[in-house]
Structure 1
Amino acid sequence: MKIVNILLGGPKSEYPKELLTNPKEISGEWVAADHGTAYLLKNNIIPKYSVGDFDSSSKDELNLFEEAIKNIIKVPAEKDFTDSQLALKTVIKNFEFDEIHVYGATGGRIDHLLVNLFLGTDKNFTNIIEKVKLIDTGNYIEFFTPGYHTVKKLAKMKYVGFVNIGPVKNLNLIDSKYLLKNNTSQVPISWASNEFVKDTINFSFDEGSILVIQSKDSDKKKD
């Protein structure tokens, strides 16, 4: 399987363990967005491309990026696309891939998080959106277009949520712990805290865009 990884500028507190401890062990080429470039270079990973307006990078960092990376795509701060959208466009244009794994897409500013979740409704990415996975320390987020789908349970993830990020028609959760039949809604709904009763869940819908979020509670101790 050909995987291309994208590292966005989200906080390291949301990085999954493998990205914090052994990033070089993560298979696939890398594309970095803005300050995500610095983290990769510090861990001796040279991304094939670095994109963004670099408004969160210092002048010294930008000089380092330009010395280390062959392909830097610098855009004005006032632009039509976010860094995540630019990174995806870069992958689509320059790589062959089976999946795109996006890190650093959560945490920090909520408006940035929403942009990344709403990628499922962006017509620029309709043809490849089911190949995009957003990964952080406690969540694995997949995008789905209309049809019949099967989701496989991931190790260490306890919960699964189904979220229509716009109008949806005839959403069916067929064999999850909590079932749903022919749900049609004109507003977004998060069908949260569902669970697997076997290794897979089958679901279907006729129109709209669905996020499937496998998740677990934080390992941090509560006060």
Structure 2
Amino acid sequence: MKGIIIAGGNCISIEKLKEIIPDFDIVVAADSGLKHLNAVDVKPDYLVGDFDSVDKSLLAEIDISITSVVRHPVEKDKTDTELAIDVLNELNVDDITILGGTGYRLDHTLSNIFSLRYIYDLGLNGTIIDEYNSVTYIRGVNAVSMKNEGTYISVLPISDIGAEISLKGFHYPLDHKCLIMGSSLGVSNYIVKNEGTVICHKGEALIIKARD
């Protein structure tokens, strides 16, 4: 079962949002992410947050027969996005996509990106997407295969020990290469065959698919 969280940051185009929403079994709005769903006339299954930034007129229009409202205090230990992740985890989803998780607030953007590790620790698949990027998390002995979509692929180590990475089917292949944290060696690669594979042998890394 697949769940999607719509947060309040930069979202994808209205046309793409309309196209992908039906692919998900459960739709969760995290606070002001409600505005993006309102733009495509979609009622979320859940609305989660402290509601400090959501448009109050939109909040007043919520039909509780359609949308379950999960309200939290403003002073809390988790972000609205992380609270939305908890809701989906309790609903036994297998896969979580976050939209609107990136934007002008760099602290929120980084927090949302690092929430992919939290999702992974829950035993779920997690992805953050916006108009230009898709971000996933990989750790330990693991592999991610992807189709050639003409995008840049970057592998960024995020653990103290770095990440030991192999890249198959890429213009710049790697074979058990240790990327230290802060290294730019894994930035702006691309797939040269129909499919490429990122293999993590140890450590932790983010895999970012990006387009200009």
TM-score (norm 2): 0.85
Displacement of 1:125 in angstroms is 4.2
Q: Which residue number corresponds to residue 53 of structure 1? A: 50
Give deviations 1:158-196, integer Å, cap 9, x for gaps.
Answer: 211111122324222233111233333552334211000
Q: CA RMSD in A?
A: 2.5
SS at match of 1:119: helix
Q: Which residue number corresponds to residue 18 of structure 1? A: 16
Asked if residue 202 in structure 1 is aligned to residue 197 in structure 2, the reply is yes
1:16/1:145 CA distance change after superposition, 3 Å = farther
Q: Which residue number corresponds to residue 221 of structure 1? A: none
What letter matches 2:111 in structure 1? V
Q: Which residue number corresponds to residue 220 of structure 1? A: none
1:55/1:159 CA distance change after superposition, 3 Å = same
Calculate percent identity across the aligned residue pairs: 27
Give deviations 1:67-92, integer Å, cap 9, x for gaps.
Answer: 56541111112211111111111100
Residue segments in structure 2 that go unaligned for 5+ positions in a row: none
Determine the C-alpha separation between the residues in 2 that align with 1:67 and 1:48.
9
Q: Which residue number corresponds to residue 147 of structure 2? A: 153
Displacement of 1:150 in angstroms is 3.4
SS at match of 1:208: strand
SS at match of 2:62: helix
Residues 44-123 of structure 1: pairs in structure 2 closer than 5 A: 44-65=41-62, 67=64, 69-97=66-94, 99-122=95-118
8 Å Cα contact 1:171-1:183 kept in structure 2: yes
Displacement of 1:27 in angstroms is 3.9
1:204/1:28 CA distance change after superposition, 3 Å = same
SS at match of 1:50: strand
SS at match of 1:35: helix
What letter matches 1:3 in structure 2? K
Residue segments in structure 1 that go unaligned for 5+ positions in a row: 218-223
